[in-house]
Amino acid sequence: MAIRELKVCLLGDTGVGKSSIVCRFVQDHFDHNISPTIGASFMTKTVPCGNELHKFLIWDTAGQERFHSLAPMYYRGSAAAVIVYDITKQDSFVTLKKWVKELKEHGPDNIVMAIAGNKCDLADIREVTFKEAKEYADSIGAIAVETSAKNSINIEEVFQGISRKIPPLDPYENGEIGAMKLGRPSLQSTNRCC
């Protein structure tokens, strides 16, 4: 099986749980007080996808706004970006929109975007509805998932969704149709939790 390296970066407001998602995905571990990321942190995980192995090179970034100026370093050359917001904080959804805008303007052309509404275990204090997020995601052609790093909900699915949306190396051999359409995916994630 061929191993394909996929650079993925995580973006989003501070404290929404970017590092927690990565930590859950890579190590299946959750820590309430995971150190805030400064600059960036790097991790890898390999998952099978079809007849390929996808090795995710995950760049987890700092959330605070003044670190935005560093972001181009991280999303430069990324195959995908997971943009995370906190469903209990409307502000974080606003920030998410800013990120999407920046990626659209300065990011790689064919970057796959996934929108992850984290902390869905706290649905009773929710500020952002899934509908709102889903509609927005559809409008930009991104995957929309609500996740919980704490309860390990939909974390794998986010990356599986990305894997599916990545065009295969040789489209002629694999013959997948959906992968041909970049930016406007026919496959849409219907995963949701809670």
Partner 1 sequence: MDDGEMEDVAEGPCGLSRITLSQEENVNTNNYGNSEQISMTDCEGDKAERPIEDCQIKGEKAKLKKLCGYLHKLGMKGPLKAWKYRFFSFDEKKCHLVYYRIATDVCPLGSIDLCTATFDMKVEMEEGTFEINTPSKVFILKAVNNHAMTYWLQQLQLRRWEFCKGDTGIATGTWLSTETPVSDFDSPNANDDCEFLPPVKTPTEVVGSAIASLPAPQESLSLQNISLKHPWKELQNTVRNFCTSKPTPGNSVFHFEKPESASEEKAGKENHGLEELSKPVPKLSPSLNFARKARRLNGVTNPSHEWVSTEMGYIEKFSNPHQQIKALTRELDSQKELVKLLHRTVEAAHQEKRACSDYLNAAEEKDRLELVRHKVRQIEDLRQRVEVLEKENKDLQQTASLKDVHNTELKEHIQMLMEKNSAKQEVILKQTEQLLIQNEPEFVKANTTVTLHQLWKKIDSLMDDLEAYKTQNQFLNSEILQLTNLWRNASEKEKGLLMKCSYLEARNCQIESKYLIVLRKLQEALPYLDAEYCEVIKNLIGDALQSVTKDGPNQSPIYFNPVSEYDDYGFMIIPHYEVEHLKLLAKIQALEIRSNKLLTQDVVDKSLKTKWDNIEELAYSGELKNLIRCGIPTEHRKRVWKWLVNGRARIIPNYYAQLLKKCENSPHPATQQIELDIHRTLTNNKHFTCPTSEFIHKLRRVLLAFSWHNPTIGYCQGLNRLAAVALLVLEEEENAFYCLVDIVHNIMPADYYSHNLSGSQVDQRVFKDFLAEKLPRLTSHFQQHKIDLSLITFNWFLVVFVDSLVSDILLRVWDAFLYEGTKVMGLWNSWVIFRYALAIFKYNEEQILKFNEESDIYHYLSFFTKTICDGRKLMNIAFNEMNPFRLKILQNRRAVHKEKMKMELFELEKMKEEYTKKKDDERTELDMVFSEDEEEN
Answer left, alpha or beta for residue 39, where phi above 0 means left and psi between -120 and 50 means alpha.
left
If the CB atoms of residues 67 and 136 are measured against partner 1, the closer one turns out to be 67
Do the Cβ atoms of 62 and 37 come closer than 8 Å?
yes
Site string for partner 1, 142-181 (x = CB under 8 A): ----------------------------------------
Binding segment (CB under 8 A) for partner 1, from list 21-29, 128-136, 160-168, 182-190 = 21-29
- C-alpha 109/C-alpha 43 separation (Å) is 24
Residue 151: how many other CB atoms lie within 10 Å: 15
Shortest distance in whole angstroms from residue 148 CB to partner 1: 18
- C-alpha 121/C-alpha 109 separation (Å) is 34
Q: Residue type for 88, please?
A: T
If the CB atoms of residues 143 and 166 are measured against partner 1, the closer one turns out to be 166
Residues 49 to 88: which contact partner 1 by CB under 8 A? 55, 57, 59, 62-64, 66-67, 69-70, 73-74
Angle between helices 155-165 and 18-27 (to 10 degrees): 90
Which residues sit at the interface with partner 1, rule CB under 8 A?
Answer: 5, 14-15, 23, 26-27, 29, 31-36, 38-44, 55, 57, 59, 62-64, 66-67, 69-70, 73-74, 105-106
